[in-house]
Amino acid sequence: MSIIRVALDKPLNTLFDYLGPAGVTEQDIGCRVFVPFGKSRMTGVIMEVASYSDISPDKIKQAGQVFRDVPPLPPELLDLFRFCSEYYHHPLGEVVMNGLPIRLRGSQPFFIRTAPIVFQYRLTTKGRAVDISAIPGRSIAKRRLLVKLKESGMIEDGEAKQFSSRTSEAMKEFVGLQWVEEIPLAPPVVSTSPSQETSPLPVLTPAQKNAIDAIVPKMGEFHTWLLHGVTGSGKTEIYLQLISLLLRQARQTLVLVPEINLTPQLELIFRARFPGVRLVSLHSGLNPTERAEGWVQAQHGEAEIILGTRLAVFTPLPRLGMIIVDEEHDLSFKQQEGLRYSARDVAVFRAKRAGIPIVLGSATPSLETYYNAITGRYLLLRLPSRAPDNASLPTVQYIDIGKIKTQEGFSPPVIAALEKGLASNQQSLVFINRRGYAPILLCRACGWTALCHRCSSRLVVHLREKKLRCHHCGHQAEFPSLCPECGNQDIAPFGHGTQRIEAALTRLFPDARIARIDRDSTRRKDSWQRILKDIREQRVDILVGTQILAKGHDFPNLSLVSILNSDASLFSTDFRASERLFAQLMQVAGRAGRSGTPGEVLIQTRFPDHPLYRALYQHDYDALARILLEERKTAHFPPFVYQALLRAEAPAIATTLAFLAKAATLAKAPHQIKVFDPVPAQMARLKGMERAYLLVQSRSRKKLQEFLGNWRTKLDSLPSHKVRWTLDIDPLEF
DNA sequence: AGCACGCCGACT
DNA sequence: GTCGGCGTGCTC
């Protein structure tokens, strides 16, 4: 009699032992299994098969059906899950189930829809024991179905459907009651022709050639490569050539991209370059079935290129030869709820275990990655100039809005540059990282501002809808006509958002074709693709938008980028704000002047001499990185220390802080560990919850991990009524 | 996380 | 007497 240990999607730090169904062997490790749990039933994954259990025999229940519809998760993937569970101090069951496509988490078996799925229905032992009188006499269809099943023991889908129009409904009910087993007949897998490359290869720049020459001899080994190259320096071409090499060796490549609508674009490039190659793209735009299909194709080794967002790092890949993380600095690689993993870091671990190279690409690497590269942990490859024709980098100019007056957010030089662009039929981009009409609704008499009652944030004015909206919780409020505080009528929007800038541009340039691009204008499906098409086909003169514009898209006819106001991030309390602002501005600036025409970047600021702006002026990431690293070193911030947060939230801040204070007393920290005092989170109130955290840091990752392990067991036993808490390892947001 | 059990207050 | 509040404990 064998015991199976099952991972279940429960916030409990343990596996659950069950009596394995007859015939369960070690071969079934990694298979999904349907088991009773408490009063309900659920699907889990068999992590171990054993001959004994420490649980008292009377407690152990019998496991249900083992799903063998898809191959079991390979041991490497189970190892990856175990690593994540340990490193992120998160229950293994949740990690495992989080890694599966939603379609495979349920109690239904799954097959690729290459052909219509044919089901067989077989009466179970339980079903055979059911007496016909258990079904009410009026349910004729059900009665007849049961009789038929008892006669033949098994019927096929088609046959059952002919039987009566109510059959499929009745059958579902029988399956639910476990009288009947639903057995899908696997359709044959369609195989495609072997892959081959056709398009002629572009000429490489010397830097591209150097990079490829460096990586290729080490393709069979684990190395973390940082490919540091400005926008347009040709990182994609390097990815393509490396992938092409792996295709010839019949190995798979996993390409991770940020969570934006960028996947289709890269997919097009890959498909154009490798026609006939089986590429699977795994992103949030897919429905559960499509996602599971792609996942299964990857697992079978049929897909050769797997292109996906952070979740794709958990795809089973039997012939994995390389991992690429594009735009590795992007925040969307870190999941900000539940299992707070960094897909980039998990990918590095995965590559290490698999003994394969991983390439991190960025124009503005995260300081963590950059530090690893300059200290030799990672191998650094630079792509200094722009490909293809060495197009010159855009010129950057600053407009000191402390000295020059602006009207409606625009300084005269920016207006002049926009005019020039219109006159010469060139496109311009106006960047303002704030959607809505105005960020503040202000009473000029008493200073009252509209606040969200569920979050510690201001309500943003959305003029078109005549609403006030909270950008953090989605709460909407009506536009007051009087100040609720003092009754004055003199309340007005203050500050600028994309809608207001769009309105101002319409007044300034009545004949210009203006497109606003932000989350509000691209919310509807396909609207972003439509706007992109308009831009490409020259039906837009001026683009106004938020950071959506900054990411990855080429606008061939864009020559001017204006950045209206980004000073706020210069003096943020968040120690990563400068790094992010620089990355963002580099990206936006990089939109200007591709393919031949030199671009122009105008930045309105009160601090033109700030080191960040000076580095941007010289396109010198390294200069700024050195300054920021120096600051981080003296202030004992990452990457010179490792951090973890104990995050807690409760309806009342006192509850939250009391919990954290209690947690702090449990932290008998060794001397290499520093435990800070509990502090309210930056967004102290969010969706009606009061949030705070406790920061723990150490210069030794190992020591920090040891400490966290001990601490967590103590935290688990702490009574935590009303308080929800989680550990956030390597936090990015505070 | 759910969900049941269980022990004290205000109601038909 | 009972309905129901949520504090505590368990889930293989």
Query: Is the pLDDT reported for residue A390 higher than 70?
Result: no
What pLDDT is attached to residue A254?
A: 98
Cite the annotated binding site of A by residue number: 443, 446, 452, 455, 470, 473, 483, 486
Q: Give residue for tokens 């989605």.
A: A474
What would you report as the CA-atom Rg of chain A, rounded to the nearest whole angstrom?
Answer: 29
Taking the C-alpha atoms of residue A91 and residue A286, their distance in angstroms, rounded to an integer, is: 27
- Provide the CATH topology of domain A391-438+495-631: Rossmann fold (3.40.50)
Nucleotide nearest to A37 (CA to C1'): C11
pLDDT bracket for residue A175 (50, 70, 90): confident
Separation of A587 CA and B12 C1' (Å): 70
Q: Taking a C-beta distance cutoff of 8 angstroms, is the pair A119, A185 a contact?
A: yes
pLDDT bracket for residue A454 (50, 70, 90): confident
pTM of the model: 0.86
What pLDDT is attached to residue A192?
A: 41
* Mean pLDDT of all residues belonging to chain A: 90
Taking the C-alpha atoms of residue A417 and residue A598, their distance in angstroms, rounded to an integer, is: 14
Nucleotide nearest to A56 (CA to C1'): C12
Q: Please write the tens of the pLDDT for every residue from A27-81.
A: 999 999 999 999 999 999 999 999 999 999 999 999 999 999 999 999 999 999 9
Separation of A421 CA and C5 C1' (Å): 69
What pLDDT is attached to residue A1?
A: 67
Separation of A719 CA and C8 C1' (Å): 9
Taking the C-alpha atoms of residue A56 and residue A67, their distance in angstroms, rounded to an integer, is: 27
Query: Is the pLDDT reported for residue A134 higher than 90?
Result: no
Q: What is the mean pLDDT of residues A124-141?
A: 84
What pLDDT is attached to residue A216?
A: 97
pLDDT bracket for residue A358 (50, 70, 90): very high
Separation of A730 CA and C11 C1' (Å): 31
% of chain A exceeding 70 in pLDDT? 94
What pLDDT is attached to residue A194?
A: 43
What pLDDT is attached to residue A164?
A: 73
Would you tell me which residues have their CB within 7 A of strand C? A 10, 12, 14-18, 36-38, 53, 55, 59-61, 719, 721
**Pick from A556, A590, A550: nearest CA to A262:** A550
Nucleotide nearest to A14 (CA to C1'): C12
**Pick from A301, A310, A296: nearest CA to A341:** A310
What pLDDT is attached to residue A594?
A: 61
Query: Is the pLDDT reported for residue A388 higher than 70?
Result: no
What pLDDT is attached to residue A692?
A: 95
Least confident of A169-178, A262-271, A318-327: A169-178
Query: Is the pLDDT reported for residue A387 higher than 60?
Result: no
Q: What is the mean pLDDT of residues A15-26?
A: 95
CATH placement of domain A118-185: 1.10.10
Separation of A91 CA and C3 C1' (Å): 38
Q: Compare A175 and A20 and report the one with higher pLDDT.
A: A20
Q: Please write the tens of the pLDDT for every residue from A584-605.
A: 999 898 888 766 667 899 999 9
Q: Within 10 A of A388 (CB to CB), how many other CB atoms are there?
A: 15
What pLDDT is attached to residue A666?
A: 87
Q: Taking a C-beta distance cutoff of 8 angstroms, is the pair A461, A449 a contact?
A: no
Q: Please write the tens of the pLDDT for every residue from A478-510.
A: 989 899 989 999 999 999 999 999 999 999 999
What pLDDT is attached to residue A196?
A: 47
Q: What is the mean pLDDT of residues A87-105?
A: 97
CATH placement of domain A194-387: 3.40.50.300
Separation of A536 CA and C3 C1' (Å): 68
- Report phi then psi at A276, rounded to 5: 90, -15
Q: Say whether A118-185 and A3-105 share the same fold.
A: no
What pLDDT is attached to residue A629?
A: 98
Nucleotide nearest to A11 (CA to C1'): B1
Q: Which nucleotides of C are covered by protein (CB under 7 A)?
A: 6-12
Q: Which residue is nearest to nucleotide C10 (CA to C1')?
A: A38
Q: Please write the tens of the pLDDT for every residue from A645-679.
A: 999 999 888 889 989 998 999 888 788 999 999 99
Query: Is the pLDDT reported for residue A168 higher than 50?
Result: yes
By residue count, chain A amounts to 734
- Helix (H) or strand (E) run with residue A324 in it: strand A320-326
Eight-state DSSP code of residue A580: H
Q: What is the mean pLDDT of residues A264-273?
A: 90
Q: Which nucleotides of B are covered by protein (CB under 7 A)?
A: 1-4
Would you tell me which residues have their CB within 7 A of strand B? A 10-12, 38-40, 724
What pLDDT is attached to residue A185?
A: 61
Query: Is the pLDDT reported for residue A637 higher than 50?
Result: yes
**Pick from A253, A278, A310, A255: nearest CA to A99:** A310
Query: Is the pLDDT reported for residue A576 higher than 50?
Result: yes
pLDDT bracket for residue A193 (50, 70, 90): very low
CATH homologous superfamily of A642-729: Ribosomal protein S10 (3.30.70.600)
What pLDDT is attached to residue A118?
A: 65
Query: Is the pLDDT reported for residue A2 higher than 60?
Result: yes
Query: Is the pLDDT reported for residue A197 higher than 70?
Result: no
What pLDDT is attached to residue A521?
A: 86
Nucleotide nearest to A9 (CA to C1'): B1
Separation of A654 CA and C1 C1' (Å): 40
Least confident of A88-97, A215-224, A720-729: A720-729
Q: Within 10 A of A324 (CB to CB), how many other CB atoms are there?
A: 26
Taking the C-alpha atoms of residue A19 and residue A34, their distance in angstroms, rounded to an integer, is: 12
Separation of A40 CA and B5 C1' (Å): 18
**Beta bridge pairs of residue A180:** A123
pLDDT bracket for residue A289 (50, 70, 90): very high
Nucleotide nearest to A18 (CA to C1'): C12
Q: Please write the tens of the pLDDT for every residue from A202-213.
A: 888 899 999 999
Query: Is the pLDDT reported for residue A563 higher than 50?
Result: yes
Nucleotide nearest to A725 (CA to C1'): B1
Cite the annotated binding site of A for Zn(2+) by residue number: 443, 446, 452, 455, 470, 473, 483, 486
**Pick from A235, A225, A173: nearest CA to A204:** A235
What pLDDT is attached to residue A174?
A: 84
- Provide the CATH topology of domain A3-105: GIY-YIG endonuclease (3.40.1440)
Nucleotide nearest to A10 (CA to C1'): B1
CA–CA distances in Å: residue A652 to residues A471, A474, A656, A689, A724 = 22, 21, 7, 7, 12
**Pick from A384, A268, A254: nearest CA to A326:** A254
Separation of A119 CA and B8 C1' (Å): 55
What pLDDT is attached to residue A265?
A: 83
| Residue-range domain boundaries for chain A | 3-105, 118-185, 194-387, 391-438+495-631, 642-729
pLDDT bracket for residue A184 (50, 70, 90): low
Separation of A225 CA and B12 C1' (Å): 75
